[in-house]
Amino acid sequence: MRAVVVGATGYAGQEVVKILARHPEFEIVALTSSRQQQEPVSDIFPYLSRGPSVFVDPKDLSDMEFDWVFSCQGPKQATPYFFEWIERGAKIVDLSADFRFQDIKVYEQAYGSHPAPELLALAKAGYADDPTMDYDNAMRILGNPGCYPTAFYAAVAPLIAQGQSLPLVIVDGKSGVSGAGRAPREHLMMAEMVENVTPYNDPGKHRHTFEMEAVTGQTVVFQPHLMPMARGMELTIYIPNSSLSANSVVELWQDYYDGNAFITVLSPGQKPQTRRVRDTNRIELGVSADERSGTLVLYSALDNLQKGAAGQAVQHVNRWMNWPMELGLE
């Protein structure tokens, strides 16, 4: 399969290239960068022994043949090109937020006007670890989820699937700085972020709250924090007024993710660690039940650039193509 990575110089794009380079079914035929067009690919990817030699601008893809586009730009940036790429037969995995919501009104609340509402009918959103996700023939665009919502989904979806109603969920999120992208900004400078932990955004203001609320269908209070590390994220999720025991949550998770090697369910008492999932497509899930206050506490850790972005995108394609889900991701 001939693949193009759009936005290949960004953090998520670089990770997609790394995975595709070792994936047995893919050949990379183009890598795009607007800022670095016509500059050598080897400047960023010295390890690529095959494939394109220079970056091209996305508009220069019109005379090329390809089957898949991994679109790794920010929301709205590459989406106007999707019409042409689809017309020419390509399938698209969009790592931005543009196709994460079926309901355009929810998208507009979080991101403003949609760049291509006509394409929503050809798109589907979902989580690559969702055992019920189906990939039908009409689908041309896959909306890859956000990193925080992926960690959230992994812990909470099995409870929802079993019929639990979660009217209020409180999410304490921590992320490494690569989650903010590669463009330089003062608060991301090493002297600003090392040995420093700070909450950012206010509860109810982060756009990922909408993706999390789509999982529970009810209110989520989400407070993210910036951590002094390059990559990785951990969510501690508080569910008040819960009668579920830690052991029953472990069983629910094990049933829901039966046979899924990407989900590691820890025993009650064990806690996930971001460094154990670093550079992997795995999620570690842990649980404690605070019987004193009747609060269930779930923990979910992943690598924001792998499972939170590139790894999940490739896992989706593996499932879409009926290849083994782990192909290129072990």
Among 5, 19, 28, 147, binds ligand NDP (CB under 6 A): 147
224's contact among ligand NDP, ligand X2W, none, with CB below 5 to 8 A by partner kind, is: ligand X2W
Q: Which of 147, 166, 249, 309 is catalytic?
A: 147
Side-chain half-sphere CA neighbours of 143 within 13 A:
23
Distances (CA, A) of 322 to 10, 252, 309, 315, 316: 29, 26, 20, 10, 10
Q: What share of the chain is helix, strand, coil (3-state, %, to 5)?
A: 35, 20, 45
224 sits near ligand X2W (criterion: CB under 6 A): yes
226's contact among ligand X2W, ligand NDP, none, with CB below 5 to 8 A by partner kind, is: ligand X2W
DSSP readout, 241-302? S----HHHHHHHHHHHTTT-TTEEEPPTT----HHHHTTSS-EEEEEEEETTTTEEEEEEEE
Active site residue 147: yes
147 sits near ligand X2W (criterion: CB under 6 A): yes
CB of 201 to ligand X2W, least distance (A): 7
Among 46, 137, 165, 183, binds ligand NDP (CB under 6 A): 183
Closer to ligand X2W by Cβ: residue 16 or 265? 16
CB 256 within 8 A of CB 157: yes
Rounded Cα distance between 7 and 34, Å, is: 8
142 sits near ligand X2W (criterion: CB under 6 A): no
CB of 149 to ligand X2W, least distance (A): 8
CB of 173 to ligand X2W, least distance (A): 8
73's contact among ligand X2W, ligand NDP, none, with CB below 5 to 8 A by partner kind, is: ligand NDP
Rounded Cα distance between 274 and 316, Å, is: 23
The SS3 call for residue 145 is coil
304 sits near ligand NDP (criterion: CB under 6 A): yes
- Indicate which residues carry an active-site annotation: 147
Residues that bind ligand NDP (CB under 6 A): 7, 9-13, 33-36, 72-75, 95-96, 146-147, 178-179, 181-184, 304-305, 308-309
